[in-house]
Copies of this chain bind each other. A is one copy, B any other.
């Protein structure tokens, strides 16, 4: 794992810029035993050229065999041990809907559920109510509970289907809070308890339980969503600052709120951008002189993978490839093209497979990879199979931004 103290000791400033282009869920699988993966099937003349000139490999986001969520996968790409630095689910849920979470806010992931007349859970997801119902219920909860906790602001925001985000804002929130979901039907929701043993934690647990009571009262006639559970109650984890560790002024460009949110959590500057990949590249050009490092996030490779739409994922990759010359024209000293995890269309979900990665720099050791693809990276890549947390240190090395270690 990245040695932050070592990076802080060695990292220096120069004018060599680094671009980290992340195609979410890039890695794939063949749909048939003899087939190609999405990346192998895509026509990617620009990435293939970078692969020939640069060095390639496969990155392991978390640990062998472990399928990452988007939060930890990005933390890992940013150099943070994703096991050590745990972002609470509540925080990720709030970031995912673009909520502007403050450092003292407490966030929770909420799930509407169904309970019987004895208060025992009969469906932990309330029959996966339509998202429109979720929106209406959140508005109802906002009205009914927004003023339930004097001295605190309450925000109830819809996410999708039975999921919503709850944020409490006010003084002295904290502690280590347990979840209410008993993770089984036939049981009653649990009260929130504090495990930190601090006065702050005890008080926060009491506040949250008061909110839950008011919220359940407001929901009691809303079958099937006549109750709720809270999970992952947490604050901004206060991660070490990316710029302080790596001595890189960092700009983040992403269409989706979640990725802007994770970038913000590590202290990157989140840049305003539009809704298309081209608008992201335009944002990169516009801010080129303001930062040393750019994180550019492409969402739709993952989306099409989750849809199980192999051909559509191929087309997203091809579109991104066509944008590469615009990035090259800016003359980055290091250009990395990778994903945060694999999302094979065959599996319609995130997967544990290592992620194809290429690192281009004039000082990279050219390996024997002739094209950019999973099997080329695996068989011929000069980077081998490496943990994703090594990527930023390797980028710094290639950019000449690390002093020599020792005499």
Which residues of A approach B to under 8 Å, CB–CB?
A: 3, 6, 10, 29-30, 33, 37, 53, 58, 62-73, 82-83, 86-87, 89, 92-93, 96, 109, 232, 346-347, 350-353, 363, 365-368, 374-375, 378-386, 390, 393-398, 402-407
**Neighbouring B residues of A350 by C-beta, 8 Å:** 404
Cα distance, A72 to B65, chains bound together (Å): 22
**Neighbouring B residues of A380 by C-beta, 8 Å:** 378-379
Check A386 against B385 for contact (C-beta < 8 Å): yes
Return the chain B residue nearest A52 by Cβ.
B33
Check A363 against B347 for contact (C-beta < 8 Å): yes
Cα distance, A89 to B62, chains bound together (Å): 35
Check A383 against B385 for contact (C-beta < 8 Å): yes
Cα distance, A75 to B335, chains bound together (Å): 32
Return the chain B residue nearest A93 by Cβ.
B407
Return the chain B residue nearest A346 by Cβ.
B363
**Neighbouring B residues of A63 by C-beta, 8 Å:** 3, 6, 390, 393
Check A65 against B398 for contact (C-beta < 8 Å): yes
CB distance from A277 to the nearest CB of B (A): 24
Cα distance, A396 to B67, chains bound together (Å): 11
Check A405 against B363 for contact (C-beta < 8 Å): no
Return the chain B residue nearest A367 by Cβ.
B378
Number of copies: 2
CB distance from A344 to the nearest CB of B (A): 8
CB distance from A162 to the nearest CB of B (A): 15
Answer whether A30 and B366 are a contact pair too, CB < 8 Å, given A66-B397, A378-B381, A386-B64. yes
Check A406 against B68 for contact (C-beta < 8 Å): yes
**Neighbouring B residues of A396 by C-beta, 8 Å:** 65
Cα distance, A29 to B398, chains bound together (Å): 13
Cα distance, A141 to B65, chains bound together (Å): 51
Check B406 against A65 for contact (C-beta < 8 Å): no
- Which of A58, A92, A365, A375 is packed against the most chain B CB atoms within 10 Å? A365
Cα distance, A72 to B72, chains bound together (Å): 32
Return the chain B residue nearest A88 by Cβ.
B407
Cα distance, A10 to B346, chains bound together (Å): 22
> Can you show 13 pairs from A to B with CB atoms below 8 A apart?
A3-B83, A6-B63, A30-B366, A65-B398, A66-B397, A67-B404, A69-B406, A92-B406, A232-B407, A352-B402, A353-B365, A367-B375, A367-B378
A-B CB proximity, top 6 nearest = A65-B397, A69-B406, A352-B397, A65-B393, A384-B385, A72-B406
